[in-house]
A = this chain, B = another copy of it.
């Protein structure tokens, strides 16, 4: 036998930390078997029912109400527990010991002018105003609150951007700034790896794994989960990347996010390739184009991101094996890439990697059916052909053996004034043509020169697959193609990197990154915080020896919605009257 009693408190604001403590307090009273202290949402009602804490009050509470249910061994115990709720809520224990707590944000600003960060964890509807005022006084914001509108987020981040400040969030759970853990953060070694993360537990997982692998974190910058959406355009992410690229402590950057908006990815990839430090990317759940493109590495999981970061950090930068290709200025209308491949898999892989930087690649072996070339004898836009497919080889030898058709097609493509780059593979080995470069070099030199006489710059990139022990000798083949004016690479990644670099010559000076300059000093000088909201942030900072002041903040009208509306109306009436006067 047992007894169930309950109590409903209508439309009242309670700090959720206080509610948890109330639940624990009541649970420990004598004769109490179980306690539910929950807001009356549908989900919470189910929890109460599944826990055997169902009283008739469940049917009358709404999502804005608090319900307290006590299950006791008898009526006396249950009722006695319920009677102690008021006492607990009014107890001075709920107003934690500690230093002086200003009641307003302005007082906090005034008495701690040295503070450089404001932590905001109040209910989302009150957060934007606090962020606004914090930015006005020149402080960075760690914005834990969720339920902030995306319009507010964009407005606040654009404002911060103009002031060289950062808004980490909204819904930002974790950051590590200069060794100090913000919000949910682990105690990890201070070190050389910077992290930018649109995911709190992602940041925690990677930081912990890096720590386990013996390396440390310079800064871990949370951006909030929506920062890489198109509406926000990754403002905080770009600020953080820029900052970490300049930060002398940071030698390598890890970027974590769910897959960003396509437009954001394009912009981001261009930026990342311009950074002077290696970058590890993990877009959780999406397919990376490859493992490495220049200084950018693609990870497949949180653990993999950490392992890859440590591996790249330990490796010398010059061991990457990636070539840089010469800068080439093409005419603006020479935008198209034409690929003439003898190896089907090589052509396919090149398309797989290229599609991350190039849109709409047509082919006879397309990645998507909509990009199937209607007429294989006529290239269209960007076109990559597998010349080894049946349709090209009826009654003919494979293009690895017989170069005749490919040579004719190189001429055709080169004569198209919209073509800027011709790419091709040269596969060496047994059974292949005994000297493919010997035949291809002539036509390559010819088409490059012809284009030149017509005022165009045509680039030819050859991907050689072969060893120096092959009868054709990869070195001899490379030299011949190089002498003819071709760029020579040995893998699809280098080929794509060359194509990307040729097609975006204007990005070279890294101009897009500038303009997001953040006041770096505030990240490295002593951190001093004003905390508005959850006390646990205050306590966590105190435990790390960080100067912090807690604002004893309460929502207007103690969170009573009707009262707030009334107050707002009065305020507006007053303002109107003021204006009319």
Contact yes or no, A401 B536, CB < 8 A:
yes
Cα-based distance from A51 to B543 in the complex (angstroms): 79
Asked if A376 is at the interface (CB within 8 A of a chain B CB), the reply is yes
Pick the residue among B308, B392, B490, B543 that contacts A430 (CB under 8 A). B543
A42 CA / B472 CA spacing, docked (Å): 34
Check A344 for interface membership: any CB of B closer than 8 A.
yes
The answer to whether B377 touches A20 (Cβ under 8 A) is no
Chain A 271-286 near chain B by CB (<8 Å), digits 1 or 0: 0000000000000111
Cβ of A500 within 8 Å of any chain B Cβ, yes or no, is no
Interface-side segment among A85-93, A240-248, A299-307, A565-573: A299-307
Chain B CB within 8 A of A170 CB: no
List the B residue with the shortest CB-CB distance to A46. B377
Binds B, one of A125-133, A348-356, A451-459: A348-356
Given the contacts A38-B396, A205-B345, A490-B212, A184 and B429 also touching, CB distance less than 8 Å = yes
CA distance A184 to B466 in the complex (A): 11
Most chain B Cβ neighbours within 10 Å, of A202, A348, A427, A429: A429
Interface assignment of A215: CB less than 8 Å from any CB of chain B: no
- Whether a CB of chain B sits under 8 angstroms from the CB of A16 is yes
In A198-213, which residues have CB < 8 Å from any B CB?
Answer: 199-202, 204-205, 208-209, 211-212
Number of A residues near B (Cβ < 8 Å) is 106
Let me know if A348 and B284 touch, CB within 8 A: yes
A355 and chain B: residue at smallest CB distance: B285
Do B307 and A185 have beta carbons less than 8 Å apart? no
Indicate if the CB atoms of B199 and A344 lie closer than 8 Å.
Answer: yes
Inter-chain contacts of A488 with B (CB < 8 A): none
Q: How far is the CA of A260 from the CA of B226 in the complex (A)?
A: 35
Give the contacting residue for A344; candidates B51, B201, B302; CB below 8 A. Answer: B201
Whether A443 is near chain B, meaning CB under 8 Å from some CB there, is no
- Contact indicator A301/B492 (Cβ below 8 Å): yes
Q: Are B284 and A304 in contact (CB under 8 A)?
A: no
Let me know if A478 is at the binding interface, CB within 8 A: no
For residue A394, CB closer than 8 A to chain B, the reply is yes
Are B302 and A469 in contact, with the CB atoms below 8 A? no
A367 contacts chain B at the CB level, 8 A cutoff:
yes
**Given A184-B432, A209-B491: A51 and B408 interface contact (C-beta under 8 Å):** yes
Contact assessment for B211 and A467 in the assembled complex, using a CB-CB cutoff below 8 Å: yes
Contacts of A493 in B (CB 8 A): 301, 303
A43-B467 in contact given A50-B412, A395-B16, A537-B431 (Cβ < 8 Å): no
A244 to chain B minimum Cβ distance, whole angstroms, is 20
A383-428 residues at the B interface, CB under 8 angstroms: 390-392, 394-398, 400-402, 404-405, 408, 412, 425, 427-428
- Please give me the residue from chain B that is nearest to A292 by CB atom: B304
The 8 Å CB contact of A39, one of B301, B304, B395, is: B395
Tell whether A374 is near chain B: CB-to-CB under 8 Å.
Answer: no
Judge if A23 is at the interface, Cβ distance under 8 Å: yes
Q: Which B-chain residue is minimally distant from A44 (CB atoms)? A: B394
Q: Give A residues with C-beta under 8 Å from B.
A: 14, 16-17, 19-20, 23, 38-39, 41, 43-44, 46-47, 50-51, 63, 66, 146-147, 173, 181, 183-188, 199-202, 204-205, 208-209, 211-212, 256, 258, 284-292, 298-304, 307-308, 342-346, 348-349, 352-353, 367, 376-377, 390-392, 394-398, 400-402, 404-405, 408, 412, 425, 427-432, 465-467, 469-471, 490-493, 536-537, 540, 543-544
